[in-house]
Structure 1
Amino acid sequence: MLTKNKLMENQKMNRIIKQKLSNEINNSNCIGIVSHLNPDGDNIGSILSLGISLEKLGKTVTILKSDYVPSDFLFLPYVNKIIKPEDNLKFDILFVLDSSDPERLGDNKKYLLDSGCVVNIDHHISNTNFGDINIVDPRSSSTSEIIFKLIEELNLPLDIDIATCIYVGISTDTGRFMYENVTSSTHSIASKILEIGIDAYDVNKKIYQKRSLERTKLFIKVVASSKLLCSNKVSIAKVMLEDLNETNAKPEDSDGIVEFLRDTETVEVSVLLKEVTNNITRVSIRTKDYVDANKICNHFGGGGHLRAAGCTIEKNIDESESLIIEVIKNYI
């Protein structure tokens, strides 16, 4: 717990950092904002909300993706402004959002060296503070929550389009406001967003009630082949490339499976392994009460949060499964 003196010291430091950021924004015109690999709702929501706000401020803003934009979020305003990386781009400021380290940026990593000031904004406890300005708050529910606070504190433009993107980021990263990362601040921000006038019911329908038939088929197939280990405390599921082909699904269609498995009464740790190639496996881990997902993924160079984390293992999916299980046994 922070002492009163330490809390005051942190608040003073935050004011200094935010004033520095405000000065950088005021003195810059060409601004870049980059996403991370395999972007989720918080990543897309935060880069769009900040990008729209800065553009309405009169800045020239380029929003760059390092991976596909999941179809769940193609309804968001200004989503067509997210473009593929291009060569010879230089920015006065480069905003890196929701990325714990530069390796998560994929092709967007190259812009770090050609930007006047790198601003790293994130809520992952594993963040390496790689920016010239670092605004990292693991107590925030999401990066989108941090963006809302910055927009308010720096008096940046805020309208329904911006608020909609922030709402999507917060909602998806909190499991529809169910996870333990939700605080009174999170609900207060959600209330302010509703007061701005967003149609939350319509947004929620578009995110959560538009599951494609292909995704449903993949969900059924993967869950049916999942297995329980460690006295039913660990659930493991695998998404093979052949599963995607058989169901005509996309990699992003596996979203939600690991959370579904975690919600089984006896399960403390759920693991979803996704076959990328014969020698690359992406791993998503969710935990419920006492196991730290971040610590498990740290063993493989990944990270994230206490209850949700991920990593990439350069092994085939079966070898990756064995490696993950051995590590989990140390924590279960």
Structure 2
Amino acid sequence: MNSLFKKAYEKIKDSKNIVLISHINPDGDALGSSLSLYPILKNMGKKVTIFNVTQSLPQYLDFLPNFNKVTNKLPKNYDLMISFDCGSFDRLGIEEKPPFLINFDHHISNTNYGDINIIDPKAASTSQVVYNFCKVNNISIDKDSATCMYTALVTDTGSFQYESVNEKVFLMAADLVSIGVKPDFVAKMLFQRDRLSRLRLLAKAYDTIEMCCDGEAAFVEVSKEMMEITGAIKEDTDTIVNSVRNIASVEVACMLREDDEGIKISLRSKNFADVSKIAQKYGGGGHIRAAGATIKGEYDFDKVKNMIKDDINEVLKEKE
């Protein structure tokens, strides 16, 4: 891995105009990781564009340094693109292959679409891969970069709850705090700025909870009508499936959300079930404990639930 870090750094030093890109509908790790390199590259004298094709970025991340510099207009001329937290090229939302692509990620399902692929499935977040890249190459991390890396780490570990959390994760967090990150500030920005529309949506969504598989699984539904009545936005649905997983007996939680393409499924597991297997079956992906996909076409909630129940039963057998 260290040789790849050094190879990537040499390519960055040789480049002048760099695009930092993350996947469609970015989460905290995707945006945090890409934003973390922005001040570092600017200090190296590079021309840097932070790009994401998504029209409306998640507002809960608007406190991140340089958030307002993210654009959905790809520059015509650049010599290097660096992608973050994206498992496949099509998820970047662009059509033409860049002149040269460095691919930072921690998903085991990554398709190695870059010219240099720096993939570490053992990392808790893509920001940890970027952090290690900086450390190996003796790159100074300032407070802005550290805040972005820390935020990405917090969001992708479920506030340090997931199995990916180990000594290295806490050592990274401690180092970033020593640089100037304020954990209480990040926590308030991430978790104490709820929208009223989200709380109203939660009330309606929770009424749809349906238990199955002898209580080891649960479904929750979010319809377009619910979104319209409450005034909720897509971002307001992000943590619903996590809270359903919190039901004591539940190993697998699945949220079904209507959108223009079909039914979006978000899957979470607690202890042993590999929900990425379900997501991959329907053209999606993700992690063992958190994954998702979109079932496109004319489907309703009941039809999708009947399809997914058999898949959930299969992954629940992994305990046996």
Among 52, 66, 69, the alignment partner of 2:57 is 69
SS of match in other structure, 1:116: coil
Q: 1:325 aligns with which of 291, 309, 313?
A: 309
Aligned residue-pair number:
313
Partner of 1:208: 191
Range 136-145 or range 49-58, more displaced? 49-58
Unaligned ranges ≥5, structure 2: none
Counterpart of 2:263 (choices 259, 281, 287) is: 281
Q: Distance in 2 between matches of 1:297 and 1:284?
A: 8
Counterparts of residues 160-171 of structure 1 (less than 5 Å): 160-171=143-154
Name the Cα RMSD after superposition.
1.4
Is residue 293–residue 306 contact of structure 1 (8 Å, CA) maintained in 2? yes
Q: In 2, Cα distance between the equivalents of 1:192 and 1:71?
A: 27
Return the offset for 1:32.
Answer: 0.6
SS of the aligned residue for 1:104 comes to: helix
**Could you say which residue in structure 2 is the equivalent of 1:90?**
77
Looking at structure 2, the residues matched to 205 and 28 of structure 1 have their Cα atoms a distance apart, in angstroms, of 38
The answer to whether 1:81 aligns with 2:72 is: no
Asked whether the 8 Å contact 1:57–1:157 carries over to 2, the reply is no
Does the CA contact (< 8 Å) of 2:6 and 2:136 recur in 1? Answer: no
Please point out which of 168, 171, 177 is paired with 1:185.
168
Q: 2:13 aligns with which of 14, 26, 42?
A: 26
% same residue: 36
Distance, in Å, in 1 between the alignment partners of 2:230 and 2:254 is: 21
Structure 1 runs, 4 residues or longer, greater than 4 Å off: none
TM-superposed CA distance for 1:118, in Å, is 0.7
CA drift at 1:57: 1.7
Whole-Å separation in 2 of the counterparts to 1:254 and 1:179: 20
Question: Counterpart of 1:138?
Answer: 121
1:260 paired to 2:243: yes
SS at match of 1:331: helix
Aligned-partner SS, 2:121: coil
> What TM-score results when the alignment is normalised by the length of structure 2?
0.94
User: What's 2:95 paired with?
Assistant: 110
Where does the alignment leave 5 or more consecutive residues of structure 1 unmatched?
1-13
> Residue 48 in 1 paired to residue 31 in 2?
no
CA distance in 2, matches of 1:296, 1:153: 36
Q: 1:331 is aligned with what amino acid? A: V
Whole-Å separation in 2 of the counterparts to 1:74 and 1:44: 10
Query: What corresponds to 2:138 in structure 1?
Result: 155
Offset at residue 124 of structure 1 (A): 0.8
Q: TM-score normalised to the size of structure 1? A: 0.91
